[in-house]
Structure formats: C-alpha cells, structure tokens
C-alpha cells in the first residue's frame, strides 16, 4: 500500500461509497479482473450478525443474478426467502382487502420466484466477506477522499495523505452525493409529504412465501415474506415478514411513538387476520419519501450509480434493484473496455452508460410516481375504478405477465430463460 510520499496506487476504477450499490459494483468489476479501489466514509459494519435489524430488501431476479455472478449471493449468512406469490389489493385500515384483487404467481411468469427477501445486514455481511477475497480490489474504510478530474484521468487524495490514480471515478455515495454536487449536476426532486415506515414482525401462521401489496388511503402498505426466525430467536412466534408502510407524516409520528403492542395492533388492522397473531421485532425505521433524478449521470471521468443518480418512491420496492441495473450495465461496459485495453473512463463509454441507464431509471421513477398518485387517492369513484382496474389486469394475461416481469427486472418479452 502507498504512503503519503510514495507513488500513487494505480487502478482503473475508484468507487466512492461502499453502500450496497458501490460495494456490489466493486465486487462485480474485480470479478472481471478490473483493478479497483473502493472508499467509504463509514467503517464497514462488522462481519458477524449481531442481531435482527428489521430492514430487508426485495431483490429482483435480475439483481439476484448480478449478486451471484459477483460472488456475493452464496456468501449470504441466512437463507433468502423466495417471493412466490404477490397479491395486490385495495383496502382500508380495519377492513378486509377488496375481493377485486390481482394475484401474481411466480411460476406463471418465469421459472423462478419473483425475487427474494434479503435482510439488509445479511447483504452487508456477504459483501464484507466477498470484498477482501478479490485480488486487485483495495478497500479504504473509514476514509474520505478529495477528487480531482480532468480529461487525462482522476486523482483521489485520501484523508491520510495517500493517493490513488484512476481512469474513472464512480459516485456511489447515495442521495447526497458530493461528487454529483462537485460536477455541478442538477437534481430534479419531488417530495411526497409522506414517511416510509420500515421494519419486521413475527407472526403465528406461515406466509407461504407470499407478499401482499395493499393500497390504503394514506398510501401503499406492503407485507413481504422473510425466512423463519429460527436463527434470531427474537420472538415466540415462528414466522416473519417485513413491512414497508407509506403514511402521512403526522400519522407516521403517532405510529412510531406506539409501544410494541399498539404498533402490532395497527399492523394487524392493515394486514388483516391471515397471518394470525403479530408481534413487531427489530427496530422500526422511518424515511421521508422523496423522488429524485440527476439531470446527467456522467461528467469528465465520472459516472453516478445507485441513489446518487436516482431515488424513487418505495411503492414497488425497486430503488436498490434499479441501482443494481446500473451496476450490471457499467461493469459490462468497463469490463469489456478493460479487457480490450481501452480507456475505461472515455467519453464514449460514459455516453453509452448514460444512454442505457438514464431512460430506464426515469421510466421506473415515472411509473412509481403514477402508481403513488393513482393508489394514494381515496376519492370514491377513483377507488372503484382502481378496484375494477386491478381486477381487469388480473384477467388480462399478457398485461399481468408484463407487469410481473418488469418488477422482476426481466425483459417483458416471453423468450427469456435462465442461461444454463
Ligand atoms: C422506506 C424505503 C424502503 C426501501 N425498500 C427497498 C426495497 O425493498 N427494495 C429495494 O430494491 N430498494 C429499497 N429501497 C431503496 C434502497 O434502500 C436504496 O436504493 C439503496 O440503499 C441505495 O444504495 P446506494 O449504495 O446507492 O446508496 P446508500 O445505501 O445511501 O450508500 C451510500 C454509501 O456511501 C457512503 N458515503 C456517503 N458519503 C460519502 C463520502 N463523501 N465519501 C465516502 N463515502 C461516502 C455512505 O457511508 C454509504 O455507505 C428502499 C428505500 C426506502 C427509503
């Protein structure tokens, strides 16, 4: 490793931010033999599972394939729970979900589950286990860097004085990306005036690997199946699910202040009885809900990925999956250029990345926005139209299939099959 006065470390790509997107990009590039450095301002959390944290990601099929290829998936410390069915329905707290519902069954759409529920901490553990195994990957955390870029290349001066030279710098620092600001890239934002409550609960009856997406007057409420709680031993109830609950800010504050029994009652008023008794577990997390989109994803020797480039309403659980699509696109472009001995930070490569990714992310931000507007409306006729619309989509096979494949991150055409 270089010291302050020694020669800089030379890599092809320097990634700033080792969150789920930046760290997966590092693993994916290093698995393609691209020399990389990854820098995070925070210490990477310890490798041992210290308890149940309550947050979980819905990982779409395309994201699972990326994690598998990057050597991360098989290092997950707990078995991810496959999502084999999704019921979408309109509802109101304290009432049964509408019978005019939309039922997706994974095997009708592809030969795989819709996706997997992976605990956030488990993904971190797997990434932390994978990164040190990769030759040619240098991890600096906790560490900050000052970045200078010009047409010839980029230099990162670390807080301890060491230097890194790279052909390409990646901004993966999340929504507040300093590199995006430094490049003068504008961001379009929309504040939903809502809060996302996120956490988990134990329950009495099995979920059968099924998720429930309910459209309630204040916003969508999702129950997502988790693997059984055996390894955590945090509840006497045997099964577990995660929830992502969109609520108006004032109501969310009241919900967060409830004790476990009161919070469990509110969960049950929304979910109904199908899971039996309910007990909240782990921490309750909350996030203000905003959508944002960077006007450009690239600048001289810079590319933005993940939440640094885009953020969306969690209604479809797609935020991280869209970030993983950035990783897939960029690691392919950079991997090919590196293997051919070409410059991995060239304007052509960056243009190709932006062309591939920005329109896709915009489509998803737009789709989640429209869903939020359509489904967050409690006006009677709109509610009826919505219920009829949900039932109609359920009956129109190709449309239903297209919705489901889009959510899985798969091409909408029928031809895709898992590569042998
Ligand atoms: C309520 C809610 C529910 C969600 N549920 C889902 C879901 O079910 N499925 C899904 O796909 N997505 C979901 N998302 C979205 C998902 O959480 C994000 O898309 C994802 O965390 C983005 O990852 P990232 O690596 O881009 O950014 P972050 O997770 O924000 O990571 C950024 C990293 O950069 C580091 N950093 C920051 N500044 C600097 C700096 N100056 N120098 C060095 N390092 C720096 C940070 O320490 C951090 O490690 C949800 C989001 C919300 C709000």
Using pLDDT thresholds of 50, 70 and 90, give the confidence band for residue 370.
low
Q: Looking at per-residue confidence, does 413 or 65 come out higher?
A: 65
Q: Which atom of ligand 1 is nearest to the CA of 318?
A: 11
Q: How confident is the model at residue 418 (pLDDT cuts 50, 70, 90)?
A: very low
**CA 285-290-294 angle, 5° bins:** 125
Q: Which of 290, 320, 351 is the last residue of a domain?
A: 290
Angle (deg, nearest 10), helices 61-69 and 20-31: 50
pLDDT band at residue 146 under the 50/70/90 scheme: very high
* Whether residues 196 and 344 fall in one domain: no
Residue 398 is assigned to a structural domain of this protein: no
Give the least confident one: 216-230, 237-251, 282-296.
216-230
- Ligand 1 neighbourhood includes 42 CB (under 6 angstroms): yes
What does the pLDDT read at residue 412? 43
Residue 241 has a pLDDT of: 93
Q: Coil, helix or strand for 269?
A: helix
Residue 373 has pLDDT above 70, yes or no: no
- Return all residues near 219 (Cβ < 8 A) that are at least 6 apart: 194, 245, 246, 247, 248, 315, 372, 375, 376
Predicted confidence (pLDDT) per residue in 226-270, tens digit: 987 765 566 788 899 999 898 988 999 999 999 999 999 999 998
Residue 387: the pLDDT is: 53
Which pair of tokens denotes residue 128?
């932390």
Q: Are the CB atoms for 211 and 102 separated by under 8 Å?
A: no
Helix (H) or strand (E) holding 368: helix 347-375
Check whether residue 169 and residue 136 sit in a common domain. yes
Q: What percent of the chain has pLDDT over 90?
A: 54
Measuring from atom 15 of ligand 1, which residue has the nearest CA? 319
Q: Is the CB of 144 under 6 A from ligand 1?
A: yes
The share of the chain scoring above pLDDT 70, in percent, equals 77
Highest mean pLDDT of the ranges 120-124, 272-276, 302-306, 396-400: 302-306
- Residues 183 and 300 placed together within one structural domain of the fold: yes
Kindly state whether residues 139 and 197 are assigned to the same domain: no
Can you give 64-106 as a three-state secondary structure string?
Answer: HHHHHHCCCHHHCCCCCEEECEEEEEECCCCCCCCCCCEEEEH
- The reply to whether 251 and 113 lie within a common domain is yes
Whether 298 and 361 share a structural domain: yes
Q: Is the distance from the beta carbon of residue 115 to the nearest atom of ligand 1 less than 6 Å?
A: no
Local confidence band at 393 (pLDDT 50, 70, 90 cut-offs): low
> Which residue, among 242, 269, 249, 241, has the nearest Cα to 196 in the 3D structure?
249
| Nearest residue by C-alpha to atom 5 in ligand 1 | 317
Domain count for the chain, please give it. Answer: 2
Q: Has residue 405 got a pLDDT over 60?
A: no
Supply the pTM of this predicted model.
Answer: 0.87
Evaluate whether residue 393 is within a structural domain. Answer: no
Identify the residue whose tokens are 């590039």: 29
**Predicted pLDDT at 246:** 87
Statement to judge: residues 113 and 236 lie in one domain:
yes
Q: For residue 5, what pLDDT band results from cuts at 50, 70 and 90?
A: low
Segment of 174-178, 195-199, 236-240 carrying the highest mean pLDDT: 174-178
The yes-or-no verdict on residue 100 having pLDDT over 70 is no
308 C-alpha to ligand 1 centroid (Å): 9
Of all helices (H) and strands (E), which one includes residue 330? helix 319-339
Position 219 pLDDT exceeds 90: no
Residue 363 maps to a domain = yes
In Å, what is the CA distance from 20 to each residue of 147, 367, 395, 396? Answer: 22, 23, 37, 36
Is residue 385 in a domain? no
Which of the two residues, 332 and 121, has the higher pLDDT score? 332
Q: Kindly state whether residue 400 falls inside one of the protein's structural domains.
A: no
Is the pLDDT at 49 greater than 90? The verdict is no
Together in a domain, 211 and 286: yes
Q: Where among 259, 290, 321 does a domain terminate?
A: 290
User: For residue 195, which phi and psi values (nearest 5 degrees)?
Assistant: -120, 140
pLDDT at 76 over 90: yes
- Statement to judge: residues 198 and 213 lie in one domain: yes
Q: Are 220 and 307 contained in the same domain?
A: no
Mean pLDDT (whole number) for 47-74: 83
Residues 147 and 40: their CA atoms lie apart, in Å, by 13
**Would you say the CB of residue 171 lies under 6 angstroms from ligand 1?**
no
pLDDT value of residue 419: 33
| Same-domain status, 141 and 83 | no
Residue 329 predicted with pLDDT over 90: yes
Q: Are residues 153 and 142 in the same domain?
A: yes
- The CATH number linked to 269 is 3.30.9.10
Rg (CA), the chain: 22
| Last residue in a domain, options 290, 316, 335 | 290
Assigned domain for 2 exists? no
Whole-number pLDDT of residue 343: 98
Q: Determine which residue's CA is closest to atom 51 belonging to ligand 1.
A: 314
For range 3-22, the mean pLDDT: 90
65: domain range? 57-120+192-290
């Amino acid at each position: 490793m270089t010291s302050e006065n020694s020669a800089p470390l030379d890599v092809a790509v320097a990634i700033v931010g080792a969150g789920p997107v930046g760290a997966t990009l590092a693993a994916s590039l290093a698995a393609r033999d691209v020399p990389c450095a990854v820098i995070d301002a925070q210490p990477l959390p310890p490798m041992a599972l210290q308890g149940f944290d309550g947050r979980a990601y819905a990982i779409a099929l395309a994201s699972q394939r990326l994690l598998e290829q990057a050597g991360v998936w098989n290092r997950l410390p707990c078995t991810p729970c496959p999502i084999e069915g999704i019921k979408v329905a309109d509802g109101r707290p304290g009432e049964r979900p509408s019978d005019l519902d939309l039922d997706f069954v994974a095997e009708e759409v592809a030969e795989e589950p819709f996706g997997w529920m992976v605990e956030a901490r488990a993904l971190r553990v797997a990434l932390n286990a994978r990164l040190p195994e990769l030759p040619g990957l240098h991890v600096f955390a906790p560490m900050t860097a000052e970045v200078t870029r010009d047409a010839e290349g980029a230099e990162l001066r670390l807080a301890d004085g060491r230097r890194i030279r790279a052909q390409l710098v990646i901004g993966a620092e999340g929504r507040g990306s300093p590199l995006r600001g430094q490049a003068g890239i504008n961001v379009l934002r929309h504040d939903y005036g809502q809060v996302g409550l996120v956490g988990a609960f134990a329950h009495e009856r099995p979920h059968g690997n099924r998720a429930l997406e309910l459209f309630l007057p204040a916003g969508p409420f999702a129950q997502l199946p988790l693997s059984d709680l055996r390894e955590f031993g945090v509840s006497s109830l045997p099964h577990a699910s995660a929830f992502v609950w969109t609520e108006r800010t004032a109501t969310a504050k009241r919900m967060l202040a409830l004790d476990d029994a009161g919070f469990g009652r509110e969960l049950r008023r929304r979910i109904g009885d199908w899971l039996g008794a309910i007990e909240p577990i782990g921490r309750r997390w909350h996030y203000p809900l905003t959508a944002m989109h960077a006007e450009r994803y690239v600048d001289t020797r810079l590319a933005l990925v993940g939440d640094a480039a885009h953020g969306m309403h969690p209604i479809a659980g797609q935020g991280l999956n869209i970030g993983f699509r950035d990783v897939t696109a960029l690691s392919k472009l950079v991997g090919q250029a590196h293997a051919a001995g070409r410059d991995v930070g060239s304007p052509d490569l960056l243009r190709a990345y932006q062309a591939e990714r920005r329109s896709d992310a915009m489509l998803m931000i737009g789709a989640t926005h429209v869903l939020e507007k359509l489904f967050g409306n409690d006006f009677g006729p709109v509610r009826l139209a919505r219920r009829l619309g949900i039932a109609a989509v359920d009956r129109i096979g190709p449309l239903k299939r297209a919705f489901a494949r889009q959510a899985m991150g798969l091409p909408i055409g029928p031809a895709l099959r898992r590569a042998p």
